[in-house]
Amino acid sequence: MSYLQDVSRAAAESAESEHYSKLLAAEKARIESELRCRLDVLHSGQVPMEDQAPVLHEQFVSIRFNNLAYEKIKAIDAALERLSRGEYGICEECEEPISEKRLKAIPWTGYCLQCQESLANGNSSQPFHAQAA
Ligand SMILES: [Zn+2]
């Protein structure tokens, strides 16, 4: 009985991780193809002198986009690695489970909502529970 329960739970968990790994892989592929499109635009031949300003602007926007995209790809790779280690869905900061709602919205996140907010506020050197006191 308990053996069967264990087996069915393991099956449910692997279906879950399979679901997230597909989701993450699809998102990564989407970002990579978007990056390729943007690089094609940037390297698409000579630009007349009078058209250079908008191109520079486009390059600036692209560089910004590329940085964000690379950051996201790194986050997705890290999430895939956590999946393979069976640590997916655990906050890297406080080691509490990340809510399923949050994982559905941002499957590549490595932090629970509280830690993410704490990091975003530039308090990464101090754990947020310490500040609550
Ligand atoms: Zn956390």
Q: How far is the CA of 81 from the centre of ligand 1 (A)?
A: 18
Cβ neighbours of residue 90 under 8 Å, at least 6 residues apart?
82, 96, 97, 98
**How many Cβ atoms sit within 10 Å of the Cβ of residue 111?**
20
Q: What is the mean pLDDT of the chain?
A: 83
Instruction: State the pTM of this model.
Output: 0.70
Q: How far is the CA of 119 from the centre of ligand 1 (A)?
A: 10
Q: List residues bridging with 97 in a β-sheet.
A: 90
Task: Identify the pLDDT of residue 11.
Answer: 74
Q: What are phi and psi of 98, to 5 degrees?
A: -85, 140
Cβ neighbours of residue 109 under 8 Å, at least 6 residues apart?
75, 79, 98, 102, 103, 116
Q: How far is the CA of 52 from the centre of ligand 1 (A)?
A: 46
Q: How far is the CA of 118 from the centre of ligand 1 (A)?
A: 9
Flag whether pLDDT at 20 surpasses 90.
yes
Q: What are phi and psi of 89, to 5 degrees?
A: 90, 5
Q: How far is the CA of 73 from the centre of ligand 1 (A)?
A: 21
Nearest Cα to Cα of residue 96 among 113, 112, 108: 112
> Can you tell me whether residue 90 is helix, strand or coil?
strand
Spatial distance between the Cα atoms of 130 and 16, rounded to a whole number of angstroms: 33
Q: How far is the CA of 97 from the centre of ligand 1 (A)?
A: 8
User: Averaged over 110-118, what is the pLDDT?
Assistant: 95
The confidence band for 95, taking pLDDT boundaries of 50, 70 and 90, is very high
Q: How far is the CA of 61 from the centre of ligand 1 (A)?
A: 32
> pLDDT, tens digit, for every residue of 25-50?
999 999 999 988 877 766 665 555 66
Spell out the domain ranges in the chain.
1-88, 91-133
Q: How far is the CA of 129 from the centre of ligand 1 (A)?
A: 10
Nearest Cα to Cα of residue 80 among 36, 33, 19, 124: 19
> pLDDT, tens digit, for every residue of 70-81?
999 999 999 999
Flag whether pLDDT at 130 surpasses 80.
no
Spatial distance between the Cα atoms of 41 and 26, rounded to a whole number of angstroms: 23
